[in-house]
Structure 1
Amino acid sequence: MTTTTRPAVLPITRIPSSGLPAHALVVGDPARAALVAERLDDARRIGANREYVSYAGNWRGLPVVVSSHGVGGPGAVCLFGELAEAGVRTFVRLGTAGAMARGVHDGDLVIATGAVRDDGVTQQLVPAEFPASATPEVVLALQGAARAHAAPHHRGTVWTRAAFMPGVLELPMKPYQAAGVLAIEMELSALLVWAALGGHRAGGVLVVDGIAADDLVDESGASTYDPHRTVVAEGVERGVVVALDALYRLAEDEAADGA
């Protein structure tokens, strides 16, 4: 009889193969993962490979993981899968997004209740009619944390789209605006569908870093997109605290339910 030895680290993210905390904050940018880690007590890097950089630490006494997944849904799903294999059960994505609705401003937070599935990966996982819905408890925890920190925020549907810049095809911006979609980003629907398939809890809070309805290029064709502004950095700082506090609230609720 042969036995299989479990690897010490997982192949894609190089994180430990077991024993991770149940709560994770996932972000796109490895630098943002490091920024979050600076907020944690006893933070330590636990894995790094390609765009995937992960830290473990404590927030208000709660063990948490923070990991970066890079740009786009397919690679992000690789991270989510290995985090779950190692022990994570609750996922909150903290990202950036372009505003689509009036009244949603730079630096505001958008708490997603669900996402339009235009992500380029879930179309290969589930039928087109399958929804990308955030776990209600995660939505409420994020909203409660945003209110507690007086963070300007909005709650509703976002649009997850695989292509960052438009090509020759016309971007269906106006129909989604008419339907009340608040913002556009690149990974959240992949998380929500993947989490639903695995029985995990998931949601997302996004920091507005521009107005997606505006032209992203000038008359010469040069990009006008600039997420590196003070108003966005301040929004990210608020988003970090809101997301971490939401994980803490969720853990408290879990403990109360289990009592």
Structure 2
Amino acid sequence: MASGDLGHQHTRDYIETPELSPSLLDLLSNTLVLYQTIPYLPISTLLNVAATSRSFRHLLHNTPGVFRHLDLTQVTTAQFDIDGIDHGGEVWRNVQVDENLTEDDFYSGPLRGIFSSLRRRNILQHVNTLVLDGLSVTSEFLNDILVDPSSRIRILSIREVKNLNERKLMQALRYACRPTRPEDTPRLRALYYFGKKDAAPLMATPPLTQAALARASRGVNISAGWNHKSQHALKASIESEGEDWYSRKGRMISKPIADGWAETLLDCRRS
């Protein structure tokens, strides 16, 4: 066989070699890709992905740091939009099927149910950062987090939460920081309470149909120009505003600060 035939055969074999595309599992198995993807996925999505196969379950449940950050603010089952029981009491009477049901059971029910599920799945023990902004959070529920020896929560955000007894929260913090507390407690190192919660993320755009894509393609040149202008405007706005604490003037904390926080902060600082 001539040398030209060998070169032709080699080229043909190279061209006919099928191109292998990485699967989703292959991509997420790269820890760099996985850690960059996780912050954009709610806990419900991670659990759904883990339920698809043993491989995904092993990957997500055995990779350190997957469940380190837990944000429950957008979880549907964590929402509590019922008015207080003192506002007429109708709702409270409807749910009080047991005389032993307390206000804490009522107000913290959604979160306690979620925590119970996470604990059964052995996920809660891996959580270091917990975000509960805007949810129904009672002081008793927070006290359980502080005193639970299995809790590994280091950073807790409870900005603009509902149904929280502020006095009891301060008492729980001061008790957790008492000089006679057990060694290596409390594990909590940062508590975000003052200030406003972060703005809710924009709703995801529903998938476009083929007809919608065809209509959109006709105006792509016009929209591209506006997108270019919008990006420049957004960039300029972000650069000019910066962080609220460094650019805004006036009162940063809108609601009055209750008496006792100064002493609480000093006790926690000495711990």
What TM-score does the superposition give when structure 1 sets the normalisation length?
0.26
Which fold has the larger relative contact order, with Cα–Cα distance below 8 Å and residues 6 or more apart in sequence?
Answer: 1
More strand by share: 1
What TM-score does the superposition give when structure 2 sets the normalisation length?
0.25
